[in-house]
Structure 1
Amino acid sequence: MRYVLCSIEHETAYIDLNRPNVLNALNVDMLKELCSCLKEISRNDEVDIVILSGTGPVFSAGGDIKEMLSAANEMPFEPVMELISDIALYFYTMPKLTIAAIHGAAAGLALSIALAADFVLCETDSRLAVNFIEIGLIPDGGGHFMLENRLGAAKAKKIIWDGKVISGAEAAEIGLADRSVMPGTVGKEVEYLIKELQQKPIQAMIKTKKIMADMNRPQLLKTLELEKQGQLKMRRSTDHQEGIAAFLEKRKPVFNRRTKGAFIN
Structure 2
Amino acid sequence: MHLNVITEGLSLQRHPDGLLELVLTRPQVRNALDEATAVALRDHLQAAADDSQVKAVILRGEGGAFCAGADLSAFEGTADSLLSEALARLFEPALNAIMAMDKPVIAAVEGPTAGIGVSYLLASDLVVMGESAFLKLGFIDIGLVPDGGANWHLVHRLGHARAFELTALAPEIDAARCLALGLANRVVAESQASETAREIARQLINQPARALAATKQLLRTAAEASLLDTMALEGRLQDSCRLEPDFRERVQALLHRRR
Shorter chain as denominator, the TM-score bin is: 0.7 to 0.9
Per-residue displacement from partner, 1:100-155 (whole Å, max 9, x unpaired)?
Answer: 00001111101111110110111121121111111111111111122223323332
Q: Does the CA-based 8 Å contact 1:105-1:127 persist in structure 2?
A: yes
Q: How big is the shift at 1:14?
A: 0.8
Instruction: Provide the C-alpha distance between the structure 1 equivalents of 2:96 and 2:193, rounded to a whole number of angstroms.
Output: 25
Q: Note if 1:4 corresponds to 2:1.
A: no
Of residues 58, 75, 85, the one that matches 1:79 is: 85
Instruction: Provide the C-alpha distance between the structure 2 equivalents of 1:197 and 1:109, rounded to a whole number of angstroms.
Output: 27
1:3 is aligned with what amino acid? G
Q: Note if 1:108 corresponds to 2:115.
A: yes
Instruction: Provide the C-alpha distance between the structure 2 equivalents of 1:97 and 1:172, rounded to a whole number of angstroms.
Output: 19
Q: Secondary structure at the match of 2:161?
A: helix
Q: Does the CA-based 8 Å contact 1:67-1:74 persist in structure 2?
A: no
Instruction: Provide the C-alpha distance between the structure 2 equivalents of 1:195 and 1:87, rounded to a whole number of angstroms.
Output: 23
Structure 2: runs of 5 or more not aligned: 1-6, 226-259
Instruction: Provide the C-alpha distance between the structure 2 equivalents of 1:217 and 1:29, rounded to a whole number of angstroms.
Output: 33
Larger radius of gyration: 2
Q: Note if 1:147 corresponds to 2:154.
A: yes
Q: Secondary structure at the match of 2:105?
A: strand
C-alpha RMSD of matched pairs (Å): 1.9
2:81 is aligned with what amino acid? P
User: How many pairs does the alignment contain?
Assistant: 216
Instruction: Provide the C-alpha distance between the structure 2 equivalents of 1:212 and 1:171, rounded to a whole number of angstroms.
Output: 21
Instruction: Provide the C-alpha distance between the structure 2 equivalents of 1:205 and 1:154, rounded to a whole number of angstroms.
Output: 33
Q: Note if 1:157 corresponds to 2:164.
A: yes
TM-score (norm 2): 0.77
Q: Does the CA-based 8 Å contact 2:58-2:106 persist in structure 1?
A: yes
1:181 is aligned with what amino acid? V
Q: Does the CA-based 8 Å contact 2:95-2:148 persist in structure 1?
A: yes
Structure 1: runs of 5 or more not aligned: 219-265
Of residues 100, 103, 128, the one that matches 1:121 is: 128
Instruction: Provide the C-alpha distance between the structure 2 equivalents of 1:2 and 1:46, rounded to a whole number of angstroms.
Output: 23
Instruction: Provide the C-alpha distance between the structure 2 equivalents of 1:165 and 1:199, rounded to a whole number of angstroms.
Output: 36
Q: Does the CA-based 8 Å contact 1:100-1:114 persist in structure 2?
A: yes
The alignment-based identity, stated in percent, is 28
Q: Secondary structure at the match of 1:36?
A: helix
Q: Note if 1:51 corresponds to 2:58.
A: yes
Per-residue displacement from partner, 1:162-221 (whole Å, max 9, x unpaired)?
Answer: 211111111111111111111111122112212332443343121121233345589xxx
Of residues 13, 26, 38, the one that matches 2:20 is: 13
1:194 matched to which residue of 2? 201
2:54 is aligned with what amino acid? V
Q: Secondary structure at the match of 1:115?
A: helix
Instruction: Provide the C-alpha distance between the structure 2 equivalents of 1:199 and 1:42, rounded to a whole number of angstroms.
Output: 18
